[in-house]
Amino acid sequence: DAKTTQPPSMDCAEGRAANLPCNHSTISGNEYVYWYRQIHSQGPQYIIHGLKNNETNEMASLIITEDRKSSTLILPHATLRDTAVYYCIVRVGHGSGNTGKLIFGQGTTLQVKP
């Protein structure tokens, strides 16, 4: 079973920040938080990952709480093309030897509206 809990759906106005929450209260010390998104019927797209520090890349920012039991993915200026299902995943390790197995939950369907 997935170790994360996400709201099933969210709306966001175009141009505004989209804040997608994720709960992972049973996360272990060596588990990272990963975010992927899937636009209708395409393969999931990697967005960002983090261990305990906040992370930012060209797509998004990831804020992880100090106790690591929850996190928030932030899309700073959402566009219509950001409409997708967003998956929050926890997995062991990010380095040599870590496996390719990802356990997906149901994700959050983000609808960006004009």
Report if residue 53 touches another protein, rule: CB under 8 A: no
Q: Phi, psi at residue 73, to the nearest 5°?
A: -95, 130
Cβ-Cβ contacts under 8 Å for 2 (sequence gap 6 or more): 89, 103, 104, 105, 106
* Footprint (CB under 8 A) of another protein, residues 63-92: 87
Instruction: Pick one of 55, 74, 104, 111: the residue that binds another protein (CB under 8 A).
Output: 104
Choices 7-15, 39-47, 57-65, 75-83 (CB under 8 A): range interacting with another protein: 39-47
Nearer to another protein, 53 or 99 (CB): 99
| Strand 108-113, strand 9-13: pairing | parallel
